[in-house]
Amino acid sequence: MKAQRNNRSEEEKKAEETELFTKYYTEWKGGGDADGTFRHIPRFYYRLPAEDEVLLQKLREESRAVFLQRKSRELLDNEELQNLWFLLDKHQVPPTTGDEAMISYESFLKVGEKAGAKCKLFFTARVYAKLLHNDPYGRISIMQFFNYVMRKVWLHQTRIGLSLYDVAGQGYLRESDLENYILELIPTLPQLDGLEKSFYSFYVCTAVRKFFFFLDPLRTGKIKIQDILACSFLDDLLELRDEDLSKESQESNWFSAPSALRVYGQYLNLDKDHNGMLSKEELSRYGTGTLTSVFLDRVYQECLTYDGEMVKLKSLVPFICSFSDDDETQLKG
């Protein structure tokens, strides 16, 4: 009798287990008559394809490319910007403030109606209020508004351009991603026309290390695209598109050819044995030669070293950045 009771108990447990499994399985799968709200929770996590899932990776790449193309088409092109300027100038409201043409809110809304769908997001009360200062007639400067639009368009264009190099599609750029971006950017910068192609790798190294030294303080190996756009470094880099950039501006711009050559010259002067790496003794001559042995020991603990004694140029660039006279703490625009 006791054995029969034990057998029945096991059967009851199995029956209860099956019943509970069926109940929760149907609920979680979306069946049954349970609370229907669970079936309407949106999916919030999408697993990234693994390296061996080639087809899913290709699908993801194509989807991102199409998405970025669509976003690019939504931006104002040069012709549309010229048309916007013409409309703004046509609807200016006198009197002028100095040399500044002004526009009232009523005229502002009229221009927004005529400018087209792409311009709609710029013609809002919020934007108008941002640009409203101390005009006694409640107007804003046409030039300030147009510069605001230009800046917004530039930021979106640049973000799309950077996103094309975001291999993971997570809003970050790894060191190799940023290297590819800058390397392909060099031919579009007239101020770098004089650089030899053999010097490109060194130039890319100095530029990328500048970004990572200041924008990746935790040394995660990646930088947010938003942080790149928010700091002034990208402005400095793209400033080299100006063919008439003054010599003074080039000297103060880290990304200019003279600046890169200056850093390279410092490295060569320190590398007395010409082995491509710097020992503590060689690095101790940096600047005025006032670096202490304790300081150098700490530097070599932080930097990637070879045989515990040597550092390469890649480690020297952040070191030089830390001694820069520029105010690099004000990174955010």
Do 112 and 153 touch, CB atoms closer than 8 A?
no
Handedness of CA 70, 76, 80, 83 (dihedral sign): positive
Asked if residue 22 belongs to a domain, the reply is: no
DSSP secondary structure code for residue 102 in this structure: E
Residues 6+ apart with CB under 8 A from 1: none
Last residue of a domain, one of 223, 252, 281: 252
Burial grade of 181 (CB within 10 A; 0-12, 13-18, 19 or more):
buried
Say how many domains are in the chain: 2
Q: Contact 250/256 with Cβ under 8 angstroms?
A: yes
Alpha carbon of residue 304 to chain centroid: 25
SS3 127: helix
What domain range includes position 129?
Answer: 78-156
Q: Where a domain ends, among 252, 287, 305?
A: 252
Q: What is the pLDDT along the chain (333 residues), one digit of tens a residue?
A: 445 545 567 888 888 888 888 888 877 765 545 556 656 777 788 888 888 889 988 998 899 999 999 999 999 999 999 999 999 999 999 888 788 899 999 999 999 999 989 999 999 999 999 999 988 999 999 999 999 999 999 999 999 999 999 988 889 999 999 999 999 999 999 999 989 999 999 999 999 999 999 999 898 999 999 999 999 899 999 999 998 888 888 888 999 999 999 888 888 888 888 888 888 888 888 888 888 889 888 888 877 667 666 777 777 787 787 776 554 444 444
Boundary of a domain, candidates 126, 156, 186: 156
Distance in angstroms (rounded) separating the CA atoms of residues 206 and 60: 32
Q: Return the HEC string of 217-230.
A: CCCCCEEEHHHHHH
Q: What's the CATH code of the domain at 101?
A: 1.10.238
